[in-house]
Structure 1
Amino acid sequence: MTDQKIDFENAIAQSKQLPSRPNNENLLRLYSLYKQATEGDINTENPPGMFDFVARAKYDAWLKLKGAPADNAMREYIDLVKELAEK
Structure 2
Amino acid sequence: MSFEESVEKVKDLKQTPSDQDLLELYAYFKQASVGDCTTAKPGFLDFKGKAKWEAWNSKKGVGNEEAKAKYVELVNKLIEQHGLKG
**In structure 2, distance between residues paired with 1:83 and 1:20:** 13
Q: Which residue in the other structure is 2:61 paired with?
A: 67
Gaps of 5+ in 2: 82-86
Instruction: Indicate whether 1:30 and 2:25 are aligned.
Output: yes
Instruction: Indicate whether 1:41 and 2:36 are aligned.
Output: yes
Sequence identity (%) = 38
TM-score, length of structure 1 as denominator length: 0.90
One-letter amino acid of the structure 2 residue matched with residue 49 of structure 1 = G
TM-score, length of structure 2 as denominator length: 0.91
Which SS does the other structure have where 2:2 is aligned? helix
User: 4+ residue runs of structure 1 moved beyond 6 angstroms?
Assistant: none
- Aligned pair count? 81
Gaps of 5+ in 1: 1-5
